[in-house]
A = this chain, B = another copy of it.
Amino acid sequence: MAAVRDSKYYVDGILSQDLGVLSQAITLIESTRADHQVLAQAILSALMPKTGASFRLGITGVPGVGKSTFIESFGMAVIQQGHRLAVLAIDPSSAKSKGSILGDKTRMEKLSASDKAYIRPSPSAGYLGGVARASYQSMLLCEAAGFDFIMIETVGTGQSEITVANMTDFFLLLMLAGAGDELQGIKRGIMEMADALIITKADGDNLAKAKLARAEYAQAMHLFQTDEKAWIPRTGICSALQNEGIDSIYQMLREYKNAAIANNQFTQKRNAQQYDLLMSIIHTQMMNGFQQNAAIASQLKYLKEQIHFEPYQKAQELLALYYSTLAL
């Protein structure tokens, strides 16, 4: 990467909406080098007061559902509504395919060409925790750079969806009609997290199937409804190819946002997400410290193979052992 500058360079560049500087700053965020991390944190700290003023949309769906085409089509509709759009990705598996699901920008020709859109591929490697951190912090930088609509896309693989759902205002699940649920790799819990489920490729011979699938999913999602939830998850169909149903998705999001702001859920959800993320990072780091402790690690390895131990007592023993090593 380019020579590292001081934090003021990045902060000023991002605030003046210089996308080259934004990209450099995101590269710092993605770097695991200690000095890069220190600099990245300084940039983030300076920019925090300028973050938060975007609509954060999470998008998931398995490969083949037409995510890129959807984002291209829906993204252009978002821009036409006057937004500046940033598209990010969380794809821990992308290391395999040597790049990002967004890497092939040729699949998003119009968006790539628009000066109202910024597309940032997923880091080309990394474990989910690291990729999640990079995406979350990149989202903050994009907001500071004046992007007021953020899309974070991921693939249908379970844990990465939870991560995206927990950092966005609205979580959109894209599905194909008639591909069979198993084929679409619906994992437990993903449908439940969705604020809306949209059947893609609802055109031509596929239209009738899409309508049927929508009705089936509407019934299935009905099972997940609880009275606690102000927003009742919706279902819909769209064709990115024919630009059908795209505008109504935008209208739905606007309706959601207005309702959530009106009943104070919008800020509450953001605050809760931020606090939960904080606690989850602390949890991960504390547990990592515990599990990587040499004395503990050898005990855990042994216990994993054992049938007969009493977990409550064993927990006390291990914690006493751990804290005794910390006190040394």
Contact = CB atoms under 8 A, between A and B. Distances in A.
Given A187-B226, A220-B223, A282-B290, 4 more contacts: A182-B227, A274-B306, A274-B309, A286-B319
Contacts of A219: 220
Contact of A278 (B187, B227, B278, B314): B314
Interface in A255-312: 267, 270-271, 274-275, 277-279, 281-283, 285-287, 290, 303-312
Question: Taking each of A270, A303, A311, which has the highest tally of chain B beta carbons within 10 Å of its own beta carbon?
Answer: A311
Contact of A287 (B186, B278, B286): B286
Contacts of A318: 278, 282
B287 A48 contact: no
A314 B48 CA distance: 12
A234 interface: no
Given A222-B181, A283-B287, A278 B311 contact: yes
13 contacts: A41-B310, A44-B310, A140-B310, A182-B227, A187-B226, A270-B307, A277-B311, A278-B314, A278-B318, A281-B315, A282-B287, A286-B286, A286-B290
Contacts of A9: none
A49 interface: yes
Interface string A173-202: 000000001100011110110000000000
A188 B228 CA distance: 11
A307 B191 CA distance: 28
A278 B319 CA distance: 11
A136 B310 CA distance: 9
A181 to B, nearest CB: 6
Contacts of A275: 303-304
A69 interface: no
Which 9 residue pairs spanning A and B have beta carbons closest together?
A281-B315, A278-B311, A277-B311, A188-B192, A282-B315, A48-B308, A44-B310, A286-B286, A41-B313
A133 interface: yes
A277 B315 CA distance: 9
A218 to B, nearest CB: 12
A113 interface: no
A66 interface: no
B312 A137 contact: yes
A186 B192 CA distance: 12
Question: Taking each of A137, A223, A326, which has the highest tally of chain B beta carbons within 10 Å of its own beta carbon?
Answer: A223
A192 B279 CA distance: 26
A277 to B, nearest CB: 4
Nearest to A310: B44
A158 to B, nearest CB: 10
Nearest to A227: B182
B133 A312 contact: yes
Contacts of A231: none
A278 B315 contact: yes
Contacts of A133: 312
A76 to B, nearest CB: 31
A313 B282 contact: no
A314 B278 CA distance: 7
